Structure 1
Amino acid sequence: MTSAHETGRWSLGSGIIWGIEVVIRFIEKHLAVLKDANPAPPVFDEDVAEGEGPQDWFNAVKDYPHELTCTELKETINRARLLAMAKGRKVSIDDLCITILAWGGMRPANRNRLFERSARPWVEIAEAIRAGAFDRQSAYECFAKLRSRKDSPMKGMGPAYFTKLIYFLMPENQQKGYILDQWAGLSINLISGGALVKMDENVAWKLKRKTPERVVSSRVSDVNTAEDYERFCNVVETLSERLGRAWTPGQAERALMSGSGNKWREYVVAERFGSLPILTTFSDA
């Protein structure tokens, strides 16, 4: 990929998508906010606890018919330690998958749906990814096909979570796949100025301090294809180049995900409402 350069409103970069070199456009004003919110690349600290503790998270479903055997789950975990765990072969695939999903904060309702049936079909894919049998696009396609089956072997786990498995399990000697959750998807769409990632959106009215406000919830749509995921990964890699030499694509993806209360997260939330139609209520009339 070549270096990016600025041209007015847009920042341009080039990348290889589906074997074809294409120009990737970034909206400069949004990119400026991302940079301001992240003056330096995120640091993956091994001493900071993140997500839910794998041991407690799995104990809630230990008696479900999932057919997993976990013997070395930790009380706390974070991204840095997970990356280190995934490098070797000492940790079993069952323990590793549970740790990844717990780290990601999978909601209890989705966790329970997922483990109400055998986990072996999707764990077998996870194990093949770890062994280097798939590139990131093929890995996404395998998970997506399994999720679409009528018997619902992956009920409760959509792209936001199975891309976490891809990210951590992909061997170092292969091109990394990146986490595509709702915040990464919304962020990359905002920066690129289009629906690069297809998002399912739900808008609802809720009372906050007796005042009606619109609340938007988003999820990465199941209609995203393996080619869409490959394109997302390519744009993340191009974005990391645009952010500077100190940045890795994994750090760029982490910056896109940000966190609750982070300046970038608040900006994405505010800008998301810009795509909604203006509504007039009786109180406004």
Structure 2
Amino acid sequence: MIRTVHTTRYVTPLREGGSTPALVEADDDGLYVMKLRGAGQGPKALIAELVAGEIGRALGLPVPEIVFIELDPEFGRAEPDPELSDLLSASAGLNLALDFLPGSLAFHPLVGPALDPALASAVVWFDAFVSNVDRTPKNPNLLLWHRRLWLIDHGAALYVHHAWTDSTDPRADAADRFPLIQDHVLLPFAGDLAAADAALSALLTPERIAEIVAAIPDAWLVEQEPPVRLFGERRAAAPASAFEEAQPPPAPPPSAAARRAAYAAYLTHRLASPRGFVEEALDARARR
């Protein structure tokens, strides 16, 4: 079960990335890096963060604890920076957060403790499976904390879901080989990728995948575009024409359950043999 906490103090924005997450304190006295639903990529970035992060944790990889976090609208009204105020106001309600690792340092492949080849192989396999484009030398999204490697920021994973529509069959994307794995920061340090594939694929049963995607909140799956606003006010709808009034109402969007099932189907089919993403990683490793 993923815990739910409530924001009690907005500490500071974190401007390293493009989505401006926030360092906040919650009602359990913990500090968290909160990913905001109102940021540019919307709820799908939070879905990717949740699903990929929980898959990593299911594989035994060092991913900080993930929690749901409620943000009160008052935080947006109290923020003096207009840009941040708009972002916080658009994110009022349920968001996602990761446990803050105080004093952690950004990973650099040429600095710090030696990497375990088995761990490097596992991270490469995991990132290839979830199609994580953000683990490159320029943007590794790895931290060193207490001399241990930690994996953060998976909002760019599962990037294919941004192109899904209600008529898309996600299983058609499951065979993607993910050639971008050639740029993975840990690929030069990886050991036996075939052994990692055998061990990790056995941990991700269809039942485990279903448990992970079941945690996606309904609101993130069915959330629509926010209403258009002009100078802070809701824009009045134009009067409907006679032609528009004569048209049948649009079909309702698929339910949250249907969209959740799409994620489960995509991930389950991605695990089916032969796994092209593993072959791609092996080929990229051989070219080095």
TM-score, length-normalised on structure 2? Answer: 0.25
TM-score, length-normalised on structure 1? Answer: 0.26
